[in-house]
Amino acid sequence: MQTQSLWEHTLTFFPQFLATLRERVAPDATVAVIGASDGRLVLPLAAAGYRVVAIERDALALHGGNVRLPGDSEAHATGLIDRLKLEELHARVQVIEEDFLEGGPLDVPCEAVWTSCSWHYSANHHRPLAEFVDRMQRLVRPGGVFGAEFMMPVERRHHLVEHYTSPERLRHHFPGDWDVLLTLRTNEFTERPHVGQLHDHTHRMGLLLAARSSASTHRL
């Protein structure tokens, strides 16, 4: 990519999700990305040939603006919409600028859905984690794929918030017509400073990939 995301160098399980897409859905399938941010994972999906529905409510992530960087400096960040134009990928991506939890039913059934560390943000704690997961599941057509990477508890305060979860707890949200394909977790690791977190900090991450039964009844 000619333009870099603000999150370019943060750890991700996205390669595992992309490999699962290649195994299970058509090359031009539609993939919804919840919490699309500035397109760190949207642009690679579009470049790989998928049609993408990018759902994001943060105006700076979508339209760009000035951000504070580690070292107490500022820079202009390019937003998702301009990055798509610069990479000539805008025709493959539908951008929906709204709160995923507050909007009405999303009429965008997809072959796959993905989110990267979005539900642990405090702005999403006003609704139960089960609601976030359920809304994602409802977007997936029968035979489709669900993918989420998420923050696991590290500090004591995290254990009081269900949105910092684990693969084992998350499994309980996938009964019946769902088949959990893969779960992974990291040990605690130190991440270098980045936008929004200007000092070294400790994370622990998990991954869950699931497939919806091809015989299931779609619920929108």
By C-alpha distance, which of 179, 148, 190, 178 is closest to 166? 148
By C-alpha distance, which of 101, 99, 56, 102 is closest to 79? 56
Q: In the predicted model, is pLDDT for residue 219 greater than 80?
A: no
Strand order in the sheet with 178-185: 93-96, 51-55, 30-34, 110-116, 140-151, 205-212, 178-185
In this prediction, residue 10 carries a pLDDT of: 84
> Which tokens is 44 given?
């690679």
pLDDT tens sequence across 28-71: 999 999 999 999 999 999 999 999 999 999 999 999 998 887 67
In this prediction, residue 109 carries a pLDDT of: 86
pLDDT tens sequence across 89-103: 999 999 999 999 987
| Structural domain boundaries in the chain | 14-212
Q: How far apart are CA 205 and CA 189, in angstroms?
A: 9
CATH topology of domain 14-212: Rossmann fold (3.40.50)
> Which tokens is 201 given?
């900090």
Specify whether the CB–CB gap between 151 and 191 falls below 8 A: no
pLDDT band at 217 (very low <50, low <70, confident <90, very high): low
> Which tokens is 130 given?
């089960």
In this prediction, residue 220 carries a pLDDT of: 45
Q: In the predicted model, is pLDDT for residue 183 greater than 50?
A: yes
pLDDT tens sequence across 32-44: 999 999 999 999 9
In this prediction, residue 138 carries a pLDDT of: 94
Q: How far apart are CA 84 and CA 87, in angstroms?
A: 5
